[in-house]
């Protein structure tokens, strides 16, 4: 079905072919203008029209197979409503004497106020989530900094104690060396004295020999 056939299909319901053509043009113009502006046009039971941004990407030319870079662009997208899907799939019967798509509430064709408010609310929620995430990361960074500082202070406190222990060990080792040196010097001094006394002992034997010699002389006389 093209546009002319669509106009013919609704001409009897609207009151004439010209009125039907004007109505179709007005509806399509409203949908296109709303989607170009970034608004979502939602028709209850029928579907929704919206603008979708596509990032830059690489594609292949189907004729040559050459890889081509496609620039960033925006495309319109239509999503069928649940009622439309049910009628197409056959889960619901198409009414004979009633419209397939019932009248939508006010403002749904232009999508204006309701969609804008929903998008604003979603944007506010997203910004609130980002702010909370930033706060959480800042808190984590502060706690990490505090823990590292505490570790550094404890390490500084423990190092002087270890240094004191090492100095005490060094002093005790030096004192032990000094005592051993003193003992050695004392022993070296006392050893010659003992030797001298030992050497002096034979002198007594000579005096004893002299006395015996004198006694022998006296006896001869």
User: What is the reported pLDDT for 193?
Assistant: 44
Non-local (6+) Cβ contacts of 48 within 8 A are 40, 41, 42, 78, 79, 81
Q: For residue 21, what pLDDT is reported? A: 94
Res 108: pLDDT:
47
Place of tokens 């004295």: 193
pTM tops 0.75: no
- pLDDT tens sequence across 167-221: 556 655 666 666 666 566 555 555 444 444 444 444 455 555 665 656 666 666 5
CA torsion through residues 6, 9, 13, 16, sign: positive
């Amino acid at each position: 079905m093209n546009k002319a056939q669509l106009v013919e299909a609704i001409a009897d319901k609207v009151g004439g072919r010209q009125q039907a053509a004007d109505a179709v043009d007005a509806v399509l113009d409203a949908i296109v203008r709303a989607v170009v502006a970034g608004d979502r046009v939602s028709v209850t039971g029928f579907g929704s029209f919206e603008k979708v941004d596509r990032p830059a990407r690489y594609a292949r030319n189907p004729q040559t197979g050459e890889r081509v870079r496609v620039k960033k662009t925006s495309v319109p997208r239509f999503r069928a409503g649940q009622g439309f899907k049910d009628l197409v799939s056959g889960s619901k019967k198409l009414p004979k004497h009633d419209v397939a798509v019932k009248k939508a509430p006010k403002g749904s064709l232009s999508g204006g106020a309701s969609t804008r408010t929903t998008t604003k609310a979603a944007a506010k929620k997203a910004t609130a989530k980002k702010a909370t995430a930033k706060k959480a990361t800042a808190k984590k960074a502060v706690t990490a900094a505090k823990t590292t500082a505490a570790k550094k202070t404890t390490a500084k406190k423990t190092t002087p104690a270890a240094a004191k222990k090492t100095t005490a060990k060094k002093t005790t080792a030096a004192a032990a060396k000094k005592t051993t040196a003193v003992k050695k010097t004392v022993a070296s001094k006392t050893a010659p004295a003992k030797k001298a006394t030992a050497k002096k002992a034979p002198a007594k034997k000579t005096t004893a020999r002299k006395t015996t010699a004198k006694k022998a002389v006296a006896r001869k006389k």
